[in-house]
Amino acid sequence: MYRTTWMPVHSKEKFIGKIFSLLVIVVINLSTSLTAMAVGLIPVPTLKNVTTQASATYDPVKQWYSYHYSVDNPATNTGEIWDIKVDISRRFIGGSVRLNPNGLTIPLGATTSTFIEELADYKPPLGFPLNQSVISIGQRVPAGWAGGFGRDGYAGFHTRSNVAGIVPSANLGGFVLISPGLPTIRKMQIIPDWMLVVPNLDEVTEAEKQQAGDIERKIIFHTHTLGPAGVTNFGGFSHWNLLRDDIEKAVTLGWVPDTALAGTIRTKLAFARKALDAQDGTLAKSRLQTLLATMQAVTPGQKIRREAYDLIVLNIQSLLKHTANTPIPFEPAYSLTPPTSTLSLGKRQTLIARAFNVAFNNAPIPSEFFEARITEGPHIGMSWFLQTDANGEAPFSYVGKKVGKDHIIISRPLGLLKKKPVMLAFTGNLNTLAAGGLCWADHHWVEGRREPFWRKPR
Amino acid sequence: MNRNSLNRYLTYKVRSGFAVLFFLTGCLALVFLSPQTALAAGFIFRLEIPHEPSFPNNAGTKLRSFGCFSAYDGTPLNCGFSLTVTGLKSPANDIANNGGHVHDANRPLVLNRGKLEYLADQDPARLSVRGTTLGTPPLIYAEVTHKLPEVSGKIETVATVTTPYGWVCAGGCFTRTSWRKIITYDVGIRGLVKLPGPLNTENPATAAGDYIKVRGGTDTHPEGSFGTPFALDALKNIAKKYKKARGRALSINDMSLPKGGLFDYRATWKPDHNTHRRGKDGDINQDGLRCLPDKDLREAIDAVIKPPSKGKTRLHCESGGRKHIDLEPF
């Protein structure tokens, strides 16, 4: 049993006590921050004033954008850059991608993998955070470096084992992201080489691990760069909105130092947008052409940085290509058939995802991208990236290898759900479109419980 | 209702003021048979559950209470009691009993080779205490605390209560004048799973296609690669990424023992591995590459278990080159 004793304290003593407590707190905070910079045997590096350059190009055949990066590490730094990360995250339900990932590859070091294979590794409980995924990307790297992406939503370029990074006063280019994603402004992290190294692993304390975690975050150099956007309805309102917002951000970041040019860009884009809002796509594109001419008359350099130039020009070109002359009523709907099925083990089940426009005679929607994913059941985690054909259909199949009942959903991002803006706003970014149930039996046919397989997007 | 549970039931009733009703119904025969009948009771305030796993650390304290009451009117009696830690549950070579430690000499059965704690009459040599059930007023029971060791395994204890002179036991009795119960403490962490590996050893002949290699067992700790399901998932994903990046399997060394707890890889019962207790830590063999330059490993860990905006480091190195991953869920 513990006994506590209390005694009265004079108010003056109380005041002195408070002052003393504050001093103690200040001293503790100071000492904490100092010790946080001194944990382990490796000195904490400095990494400041790193300069990065980015440019983007478009391949009309493959319909890919290539984002080229170079990084300059000033001589005043002590940190050697070993990891360069670019944000490729996207808000999304279903852990999926919309942009066509086919053909995109990632050099991982000893091997090269496809984006699809890499994405398949991220399954619960080690999947992406809720409502988040990554945009389809491929990568190219300079010699001695490797690529990849992580569940934090960043694509990374890192030096391989036993290879030096970008030392102070050095510059290195050749980092390339390839993606169907349109240019936008993205976060970038430049990370110097540092680790918690201790004399004896078995004596590391939780406090030291925490301090090391703090250091790992503090030494990162944060900046912005060009990177692929998550917008999928090229020429749609969200694409127009993104360009408008990105121009504002580029000006804020100092990417358009010439204020007159910045004003012209803003004005001309707003003028074109006005026509689009009036349902006149032809006029909107005509006005965009004048903005494009303005841009092409400028040389990237003092008035506008290469990043801003490529951002604006490539997006305008995409808007010119994809904005419809006359808007057509568009309300997409989706189905997945068969709704339920019961098969014996080892049999192949073929399913068909369909996309059609309910606002226009249920016309099939070609070239739509889906992801089909098994969200529950023995084959959980299997997924397929699909594109509808001219009939608006995208078949896919798999063989049942385990007994049980699979639930399959097809999903896509919100961008195309144009006709239900209120419902979209209400439901956030709900994206489940259709679901089916498959039941695999090991010996004989069994009756599968019927599942609701279809509902309209909310 | 068996004798034991009847015993507890009676104890509760007596202490709750229902003694009169009880004696009129259940114990009348006993009263006639013996003019002085005692009821020896095991647990009054806390019912211990045999085989309940307990976390092996300093907080793993088990409290046992001994009380003894008259079957006539519920009056507390001053009975004798003893509690003795008898050792590891048999057979001691069963991993379910020894927790993965196959070196039994001087195994701690109480925290830090300490003693059971009671006010008097301690017998450190036998890990035993004895006393009487009436404590300092108003306490009407005696309490013994058993601080569990940091080492996992099943520990057996024997609790005995003996009646005062002239009284006999009324229910759940061991002898006419004593009550006895053997209780096993299953000290350990629940739910640890073994990391699969080719034959649980590094086998160059079969390891070419593997992305993960697992430590071979040692004589003193044959099973040292257990972890939580999350840790194992994370480790497998890290290993897959590492294999793609470096072209070699990730070679896993010590994780945790089958039931966790202290992992004394030197077989000293001392915390050689200060961590490795909860199935959330893994050591990585150098495999020709020291920790600091192994950037492929760093990147693989980052990709799989990137620390959140606030959090601790996941990989740390020893200056000699050893590598350690913290696989706690984010």
Domains, chain B, ordered by start: 3-187 (2.60.40), 193-326 (no CATH)
Residue reference for tokens 């990391």: B195
In a domain, A369, yes or no: yes
> What's the pLDDT at A330?
66
> What's the pLDDT at B208?
52
A342 and A307 assigned to the same domain: no
Encoded tokens for A328 = 């057509």
C-beta contacts of A423-427 below 8 A and 24+ residues apart? A423/A457, A423/A458, A426/A458, A427/A458
- 8 Å CB contact of B318 and A152: no
Q: How many CB pairs under 8 A join A and B?
A: 132
A54 and A191 assigned to the same domain: yes
Q: Pick B3 or A252 by higher pLDDT.
A: A252
Instruction: Write the residue in B299, B311, B317 that is nearest to A213 by C-beta.
Output: B311
> What's the pLDDT at B295?
94
What residues contact A422, with CB distance under 8 A and at least 6 apart?
none
Interface of A with B (CB under 8 A): 40-42, 82-83, 108-111, 113, 121, 125-126, 146, 148-152, 156, 158-163, 195-204, 206, 209-210, 212-213, 216-217
Is residue A209 over pLDDT 50? yes
Cα angle at B243 between B240 and B244, to 5 degrees? 90
In a domain, A301, yes or no: yes
Q: Pick A120 or A185 by higher pLDDT.
A: A185
Interface test with A, best of B255, B275, B299, B314 (most A CBs within 10 A): B299
Arithmetic mean of pLDDT, B304-309: 77
Chain CA centroid to CA B258, Å? 12
What residues contact B28, with CB distance under 8 A and at least 6 apart?
none
What residues contact B313, with CB distance under 8 A and at least 6 apart?
A195, A196, A209, A212, A213, A216, B307, B326
- 8 Å CB contact of A196 and B316: yes
Note the pLDDT tens digit of each residue in B18-45. 333 333 333 322 222 222 333 333 322 2
Buried b vs exposed e over A178-189: b needs ≥16 C-beta within 10 Å?
Answer: bbbbbbbbbbbb
Is residue A259 over pLDDT 90? yes
C-beta of residue B56 within 8 angstroms of C-beta of residue B261: yes
A214 and A201 assigned to the same domain: yes
Neighbours of B45 (CB within 10 A): 11
Is residue A437 over pLDDT 50? no
Residue reference for tokens 């004003």: A263
Note the pLDDT tens digit of each residue in B199-222. 334 444 444 567 888 877 789 999
A166 and A266 assigned to the same domain: no
Give the ranges where B275-314 is alpha helix by DSSP (H).
295-305
Neighbours of A127 (CB within 10 A): 15
Dihedrals phi, psi of A328, to nearest 5 degrees: -105, 140
Note the pLDDT tens digit of each residue in A386-435. 788 888 888 888 887 777 777 777 776 433 322 222 121 212 222 233 33
**pLDDT grade, residue B167 (50/70/90)?**
confident
Shortest Cα–Cα distance, B7 to chain A (Å): 30
* Residues B221, B254: Cα–Cα separation, whole Å: 10
Q: Which of A173, A205, A232 is the last residue of a domain?
A: A232
Instruction: Write the residue in B293, B306, B329 that is nearest to A150 by C-beta.
Output: B306
> What's the pLDDT at A287?
97
**pLDDT grade, residue B1 (50/70/90)?**
very low
> What's the pLDDT at B60?
61
Longest dimension (CA), chain A: 87
Residue reference for tokens 């590490």: A73
In a domain, A303, yes or no: yes
Encoded tokens for A241 = 């909105």
* Residues B76, A391: Cα–Cα separation, whole Å: 88
C-beta of residue A171 within 8 angstroms of C-beta of residue A73: yes
Instruction: Write the residue in A150, A159, A204 that is nearest to B302 by C-beta.
Output: A150
What mean pLDDT, rounded, does chain B reach? 73
> What's the pLDDT at B56?
45
A266 and A189 assigned to the same domain: no
| Secondary structure element (H or E) that encloses residue A158, with its range | strand A154-159
Is residue A310 over pLDDT 50? yes
Note the pLDDT tens digit of each residue in A43-58. 999 999 999 999 999 9
Q: Pick B319 or A253 by higher pLDDT.
A: A253
> What's the pLDDT at B36?
31
Task: Give the side-chain half-sphere CA count within 13 A for A291.
Answer: 30
A271 and A359 assigned to the same domain: no
C-beta of residue A379 within 8 angstroms of C-beta of residue A407: no
Dihedrals phi, psi of A70, to nearest 5 degrees: -135, 150
Residue reference for tokens 């000499």: B105
Give the ranges where B179-308 is alpha helix by DSSP (H).
229-246, 295-305
**pLDDT grade, residue A75 (50/70/90)?**
very high
The percent of residues above 70 in pLDDT, for chain B, comes to: 71
**pLDDT grade, residue B124 (50/70/90)?**
low
How far is residue B118 from each of residues B63, B66, B183, B267, measured CA to CA in Å? Answer: 11, 12, 18, 30
Q: Give the least confident one: A365-374, A448-457, B179-188.
A: A448-457
Encoded tokens for A124 = 């619960």
- Residue in chain B closest to A150 (alpha carbons) equals B303
Arithmetic mean of pLDDT, A187-216: 93
Q: First-to-last CA distance in chain A?
A: 61
Is residue A245 over pLDDT 60? yes
* Residues B197, B288: Cα–Cα separation, whole Å: 20
What total number of domains does chain A contain? 3
A272 and A306 assigned to the same domain: yes
* Residues B202, B254: Cα–Cα separation, whole Å: 13
A207 and A113 assigned to the same domain: yes
What mean pLDDT, rounded, does chain A reach? 79
> What's the pLDDT at B258?
92
Give the ranges where A226-280 is alpha helix by DSSP (H).
237-252, 259-277
C-beta of residue A410 within 8 angstroms of C-beta of residue A311: no
A366 and A309 assigned to the same domain: no
Residues in chain A: 458
A73 and A208 assigned to the same domain: yes
Q: Which of A232, A253, A279 is the last residue of a domain?
A: A232
| Secondary structure element (H or E) that encloses residue A425, with its range | helix A421-427
Instruction: Write the residue in B294, B309, B313 that is nearest to A196 by C-beta.
Output: B313
Is residue B267 over pLDDT 50? yes
Handedness of CA A242, A245, A247, A252 (dihedral sign): negative
- 8 Å CB contact of A203 and B274: yes
Instruction: Write the residue in A83, A121, A198 that is nearest to B319 by C-beta.
Output: A198
Arithmetic mean of pLDDT, A244-271: 97
Q: Pick B57 or A129 by higher pLDDT.
A: A129
Q: Which residues of A touch B292 (CB under 8 A)?
A: 42, 195, 197
In a domain, A453, yes or no: no
C-beta of residue A341 within 8 angstroms of C-beta of residue A438: yes
A369 and A250 assigned to the same domain: no
Arithmetic mean of pLDDT, B261-265: 88
> What's the pLDDT at A267?
97
In a domain, A20, yes or no: no
CATH number of the CATH domain containing A67: 2.60.40
Tell me which amino acid residue A381 is: G
> What is the domain extent for residue A399?
332-441
Is residue B306 over pLDDT 80? no
A53 and A199 assigned to the same domain: yes
In a domain, A24, yes or no: no
- Residue in chain A closest to B243 (alpha carbons) equals A110
* Residues B87, B161: Cα–Cα separation, whole Å: 20
Q: Which of A204, A232, A260 is the last residue of a domain?
A: A232
Burial of A350 (0-12, 13-18, 19+ CB in 10 A): exposed
| Secondary structure element (H or E) that encloses residue B214, with its range | strand B212-214
Q: Pick A84 or A2 by higher pLDDT.
A: A84
- 8 Å CB contact of B318 and A199: yes
In a domain, A131, yes or no: yes
Encoded tokens for A53 = 């350059």
In a domain, A227, yes or no: yes
